[in-house]
């Protein structure tokens, strides 16, 4: 690593960066170490009396001036602690601090791991002997469906998201994530919904069509009970939770980094979480749409997946696996990020190939979207198409291999301490590489045909998922326990846990390769004796119970040593170099450091002491409330101070009612479900009401003469960023819907109407005019707000609402005129779904417009305090654009075909 002197500032990539922080060894005096800030009210001052810190640049040591002098004013630290203190007693459930929500999240996800593990043990007990009658076929169907669903949706994705919520703020030098109540909402929706969903098993109501829920088996003809509805609606709240978490993580990583933490200094775990969150934004929409379509088919008989009515079951597979394959990497990449943090600490050396690992993370993130058909090799897709996916499946081995070699090189360069985290990392490397190798085998189409739906595939994906995610997770639990607990976990018990889990895993799953090659299919509840499967199954069962014993040892260790505490945690027992190991408390770090390297605790002498003493930025609370520093996305320059909310009931209650909405709907309790839905929305509005506080506080001095505003609007505001990410999610859902429309046309072109059977052109033309007019009115409202013309703003918004609703009404009515009904055909179903999405946005935007106008009446909206309006405006224009594309496709495409 090499730093240049203050004069090296002519690169376009450095403009406005924290240049000038460093001085060369030959020049021990730093000029002004702080950048010019973009705001007019920011000011610079000299602070020559401030203390200095030594920074190791690798080749030499340089001096850096610190922003805040000592001693700190009396009461400053106490006030900081006071505002960040979570509620005590049972009210702790209303806490929103990332460390508390993160811990709740990790523990809940681990609970689901245990529950799904018990289901696996039941299955293995059933399969231990041929023709065993311990569990009947229906229960077995529920067991394997719930095992897969719970492991994937309630354990794997939430636990890595939870680790992000728990670790990222401290790792980035932030006080918290930018939307703490969103994190709390996401957690509680997941907690309540997940537990109720799991309990469906005890009433014989659990889904039973496999975790990927293929129609036609899962449709109304063959699964008429509400079991599969539990899956479809039950994971609705998990999808919401995952997307809420992804928004939080993207905005958190991009905007709350410590000053100086440019992208090349971002911890690898943060890179991994960024890619993870980006993948959720583009992968989850496909499954959101798929579950919506299947539920519409089950509830209202809209035939998306019924071949005789112009639907196609393969549409489900495309949509599901467009989510499902990236899902594997959604789980794996954060785990790889954890390994990349653990290996340098355990070897005492920097990670080899940092930049190549970033390349690998981003590369895997993208390439994984080109693999979905490799789950569909046996569905009759043309050979050349299969080969494209086969090639992509092999190509993804390149970035995956880069990471593995980088870890091996780091271990080779340093001196690996064989601690428990190291053992789990080594176990991960061994198992994951084996899983990767069988992955290359099943990427070869003819081989895949041979082992399709056999235990070979079960062995392969457990090697990838358990090896690639569960082993790193255990490594992470042992590694980061001293960060959240007064005591670290026991090395002795940890070695036992590792040994049992590692041995048990290989005993359980390695034989399954052979069982599969001998022809044993997946998902059979029993098998006849004498096919050569008996002994292999018995060995697998012994292995599964050995894993369970290992997990029990871990639980004993956990119960003995886990004593949650931020302020009095065990501390940096590994001598690691990343920021989460700074002394911390409920407020995260006492002062927000300036980062000069990838391992700040190794590079910056006395960093921990200086941070704890309050020598860096924002050593107290500048506004008397919770707050975090917002920095620019590339250069990590301080931009403004974001005031953060404290504990409260609305996120929790809103989440409970959201989960209740979905679950009651599953049970066909429509009215109670609607009441819960209304309550959920009302509570959200209550929680949002206090946001967008406006510039009601003077800019604050965060140290070093740096003054930042405490409010921002437009593209610099975090809420704007969140809305943009949400719009990306919406656009991805819409893209999946367009794909569905074109896919059904490809397979069933006869269902597309002749031009004379289409609605008269006046309907789409009128709808287009209404949509354009509504958007124009919103643009007019924006200008009015800028000019403080409040009545013009209110009237424009209130007029725009009926226009967008009427556009939806005209389009729906227009389709009804030629006699088209949604249940008629795949074509009709997909057309009405596209229009229904338009209606959904009309409903949401009506609420948002009324909310915005209500704020205007209460004096909470003006030319400077306009974040609420900006968000409504962004979504409005997006919804209009989507509706116009819908109209063009629905009315233009059939006419184009002639």
Cα distances (angstroms) measured from residue 676 to each of 54, 242, 445, 680? 57, 21, 48, 6
CB of 451 to other proteins, least distance (A): 20
Smallest distance from the beta carbon of 310 to other proteins, in angstroms? Answer: 14
Q: Do residues 303 and 221 touch, judged by C-beta distance below 8 A? A: no
At closest approach, how far in Å is the CB of 484 from other proteins? 31
CB 807 within 8 A of CB 840: no
Q: How far is the CB of 36 from other proteins (least distance, A)?
A: 12
Least Å distance, CB 849 to other proteins, is 26
Give the number of residues written for the chain: 898
Q: Which is nearer to other proteins, 505 or 878 (CB)?
A: 878
- Residue 569: is the preceding peptide bond cis (ω within 30°)? no
Residue 359 or 605 having the CB closest to other proteins = 359
Which pair of tokens denotes residue 431?
Answer: 């198992």
Least CB distance to other proteins at residue 444 (A): 12
d(CA 726, CA 243): 8
Whole-Å CA distances, 659 to 90, 234, 644, 653: 22, 8, 25, 10
The residue (of 113 and 878) whose beta carbon lies closer to other proteins is 878
Output 337 or 482, the one with its CB closest to other proteins: 337
Q: Kindly tell me which of 368 and 488 has the beta carbon lying closer to other proteins.
A: 368
CA-nearest of 254, 121, 245 to 184 is: 245
Distance CA 454, CA 317 (A): 18
3-state secondary structure of 62: strand
CB half-sphere exposure, 18, CA atoms < 13 A: 28
Considering the complex, what minimum distance in angstroms separates the CB of residue 176 from other proteins? 22
Which residues partner with 703 through β-bridges? 706
Sign of CA dihedral 870, 873, 879, 880: negative
Q: Give whichever of 7 and 224 is closer to other proteins, judged by the CB atom.
A: 7
Residue where the block lists tokens 């690639």: 468
Shortest distance (Å) from residue 387 CB to other proteins? 3
DSSP state of 892: I
Which tokens hold the place of 685? 């509005």
Beta bridge partners of 78: none
Nearer to other proteins, 181 or 866 (CB): 866
CB of 177 to other proteins, least distance (A): 19
Beta bridge pairs of residue 701: 707
Q: How far is the CB of 837 from other proteins (least distance, A)?
A: 22
CB of 399 to other proteins, least distance (A): 7
Can you tell me the distance from the alpha carbon of 508 to that of 369, in angstroms, rounded to the nearest whole number?
30
Tokens standing for residue 705: 């003469």
Cα–Cα dist 282/322, whole Å: 9
**DSSP string for 681-747:** HHHHHHHHHT----S-S--EEEETTEEE-S---GGGSHHHHHHHHHHHHHHHHHHHHHHHHHHHHHH
Q: Which CB atom, from 193 or from 600, has the smaller least distance to other proteins?
A: 600
Stretch (H or E) spanning 105: helix 98-127
- Between residues 381 and 416, which has the closer beta carbon with respect to other proteins? 381
- Residue with tokens 């809305």, as numbered in its chain: 723
Residue 715: which of 882, 873, 883, 861 has the closest Cα?
873
Q: Which is nearer to other proteins, 10 or 131 (CB)?
A: 10
Of 594 and 853, nearer to other proteins (C-beta) is 594
Least distance from other proteins to the Cβ atom of residue 632, Å:
4
For the CB of residue 882, give the shortest distance to other proteins in the complex, in Å. 20
Tell me whether residue 606 or residue 716 sits nearer to other proteins (CB atom): 716
Cβ of residue 278: shortest distance to other proteins, in angstroms? 10
Q: In this complex, which beta carbon is closest to other proteins, that of residue 17 or of residue 543?
A: 17
Q: Which CB atom, from 88 or from 746, has the smaller least distance to other proteins? A: 746
The continuous run of DSSP H or E covering 883 comes out as helix 867-887
CA–CA distance, 646 with 96 (Å, rounded to integer): 7
Token pair 């997006």: residue: 878
d(CA 609, CA 463): 43
Per the listing, tokens 């975790």 go with 211
Q: What is the nearest approach in angstroms of other proteins to the Cβ of residue 2?
A: 6
Residue 394 or 538 with smaller CB distance to other proteins: 394
SS3 804: helix
| Angle in degrees, CA 131, 135, 141, rounded to 5 | 105
Give the residue with the Cβ less far from other proteins, 281 or 367. 367
Name beta bridge partners: 706. 703
DSSP 150: I
Query: Closest approach of Cβ 385 to other proteins, in Å?
Result: 5
Who's near 881: CB < 8 A, 6+ residues apart?
none
Is residue 624 within 8 Å of 156, Cβ to Cβ? Answer: no
> How is 416-443 classified by DSSP, letter by letter?
----HHHHHHHHHHHHHHHHHHHHHHHT
- Considering the complex, state which of residue 64 and residue 165 has its C-beta at the smaller distance from other proteins: 64
What's the distance, CA 422 to chain centroid?
27
Which residues in this chain contact other proteins in the complex, by CB under 8 A? 1-4, 8, 10-17, 38, 262-265, 355-356, 358-359, 362-363, 365-367, 369-370, 373, 381-385, 387-392, 394-395, 398-399, 632-635, 637, 639, 715-716, 746-747, 749
Nearer to other proteins, 364 or 507 (CB): 364
Min. distance of Cβ 835 from other proteins in angstroms?
25
- Phi/psi-derived region of residue 173, left when phi > 0, alpha when psi is between -120 and 50, beta in every other case: left
> Nearest approach, Cβ of 607 to other proteins (angstroms)?
19
């Amino acid at each position: 690593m090499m730093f240049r002197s203050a004069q090296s500032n002519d690169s376009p990539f450095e403009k406005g960066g924290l240049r000038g922080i460093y001085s060369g060894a030959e020049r021990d005096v730093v000029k002004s170490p702080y950048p010019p800030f973009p705001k007019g009210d920011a000011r610079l001052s000299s602070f020559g009396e401030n203390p200095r810190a030594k920074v190791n640049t690798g080749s030499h040591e340089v001096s850096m001036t610190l922003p805040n002098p000592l001693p700190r004013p009396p009461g400053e630290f106490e006030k900081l602690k006071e505002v960040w203190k979570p509620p005590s007693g049972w009210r702790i459930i209303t806490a929103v601090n990332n460390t508390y929500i993160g811990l709740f999240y990790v523990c809940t996800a681990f609970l689901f791991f245990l529950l799904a593990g018990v289901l696996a043990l039941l299955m293995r007990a059933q399969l231990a002997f041929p023709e065993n009658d311990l569990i009947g076929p229906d229960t077995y169907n529920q067991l394997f469906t719930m095992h897969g669903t719970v492991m994937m949706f309630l354990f794997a994705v939430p636990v890595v998201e939870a680790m992000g919520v728990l670790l990222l703020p401290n790792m980035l030098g932030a006080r918290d994530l930018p939307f703490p109540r969103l994190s709390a909402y996401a957690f509680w929706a997941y907690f309540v919904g997940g537990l109720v969903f799991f309990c469906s098993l005890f009433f014989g109501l659990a889904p039973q069509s496999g975790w990927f829920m293929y129609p036609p088996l899962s449709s109304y003809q063959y699964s008429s009970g509400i079991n599969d509805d539990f899956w479809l609606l039950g994971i609705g709240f998990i999808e919401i939770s995952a997307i809420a978490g992804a928004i939080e993580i993207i905005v958190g990583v991009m905007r709350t980094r410590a000053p100086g933490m440019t992208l090349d200094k971002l911890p690898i775990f943060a890179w991994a979480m960024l890619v993870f969150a980006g993948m959720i934004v583009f992968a989850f929409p496909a499954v959101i749409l798929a579950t919506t379509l299947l539920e519409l088919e089950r509830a209202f008989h809209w035939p998306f997946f019924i071949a005789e009515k112009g639907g196609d079951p393969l549409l489900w597979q495309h949509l599901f696996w467009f989510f499902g394959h990236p899902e594997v990497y959604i789980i794996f990449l954060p785990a790889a990020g954890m390994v990349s943090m653990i290996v340098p600490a355990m070897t005492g050396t920097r990670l080899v190939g940092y930049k190549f690992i970033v390349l690998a993370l981003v590369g895997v993130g993208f390439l994984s979207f080109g693999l979905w058909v490799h789950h569909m090799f046996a569905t009759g897709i043309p050979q050349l198409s299969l080969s494209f996916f086969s090639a992509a499946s092999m190509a993804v081995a390149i970035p995956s291999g880069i990471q593995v070699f980088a870890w091996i090189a780091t271990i080779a360069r340093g001196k690996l301490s064989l601690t428990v985290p190291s053992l789990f990392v080594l176990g991960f490397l061994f198992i994951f590489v084996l899983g990767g190798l069988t992955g290359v085998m099943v990427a070869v189409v003819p081989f895949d045909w041979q082992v399709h739906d056999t235990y070979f595939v079960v062995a392969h994906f457990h090697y990838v998922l358990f090896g690639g995610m569960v082993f790193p997770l255990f490594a992470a639990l042992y590694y980061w326990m001293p960060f959240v607990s007064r005591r670290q976990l026991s090395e002795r018990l940890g070695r036992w846990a590792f040994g049992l889990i590692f041995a048990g895993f290989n005993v359980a799953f390695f034989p399954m390769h052979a069982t599969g090659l001998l022809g044993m299919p997946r998902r059979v509840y029993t098998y006849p004796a004498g096919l050569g499967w008996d002994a292999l199954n018995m060995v697998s069962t012994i292995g599964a119970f050995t894993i369970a014993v290992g997990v029990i040892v871990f639980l004993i260790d956990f119960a003995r040593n886990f004593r949650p505490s931020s302020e009095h945690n065990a501390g940096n027992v590994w001598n690691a170099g990343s920021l989460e190991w700074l002394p911390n408390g409920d407020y995260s770090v006492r002062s927000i450091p300036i980062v000069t390297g990838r391992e700040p605790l190794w590079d910056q002498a006395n960093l921990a002491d200086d941070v704890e003493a309050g020598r860096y930025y924002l050593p107290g609370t500048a506004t008397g409330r919770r707050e975090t520093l917002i920095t620019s996305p590339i250069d990590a320059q301080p931009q403004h101070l974001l005031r953060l909310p404290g504990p409260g009931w609305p996120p929790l209650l809103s989440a409970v009612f959201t989960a209740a909405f979905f679950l009651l709907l599953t049970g066909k309790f429509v009215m109670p479900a609607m009441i819960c839905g209304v309550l959920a929305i009302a509570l959200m509005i209550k929680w949002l009401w206090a946001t967008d506080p406006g510039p009601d506080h003077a800019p604050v001095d965060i140290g070093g003469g740096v003054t930042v505003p405490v409010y921002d609007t437009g593209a610099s505001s975090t809420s704007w960023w969140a809305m943009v990410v949400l719009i990306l999610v919406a656009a991805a859902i819409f893209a999946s819907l367009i794909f569905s429309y074109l896919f059904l046309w490809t397979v069933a072109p006869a269902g597309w109407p002749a031009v004379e059977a289409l609605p008269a052109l006046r309907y789409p033309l009128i709808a287009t005019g209404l949509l354009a007019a509504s958007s124009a009115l919103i643009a007019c409202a924006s200008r009015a707000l800028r000019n403080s013309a409040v009545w013009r703003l209110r009237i424009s918004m209130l007029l725009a609402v009926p226009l967008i609703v009427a556009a939806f009404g005209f389009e729906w009515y227009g389709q009804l005129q030629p006699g088209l009904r949604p249940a008629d055909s795949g074509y009709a179903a997909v057309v009405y779904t596209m229009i229904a999405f338009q209606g959904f946005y009309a409903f949401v935007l009506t609420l948002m417009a009324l909310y915005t106008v209500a704020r205007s009446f209460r004096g909470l909206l003006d030319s400077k305090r306009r974040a609420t309006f900006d968000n409504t405006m962004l979504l409005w224009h997006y919804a209009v654009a989507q509706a116009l594309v819908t109209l063009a496709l629905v009315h233009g495409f059939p006419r184009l075909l002639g």
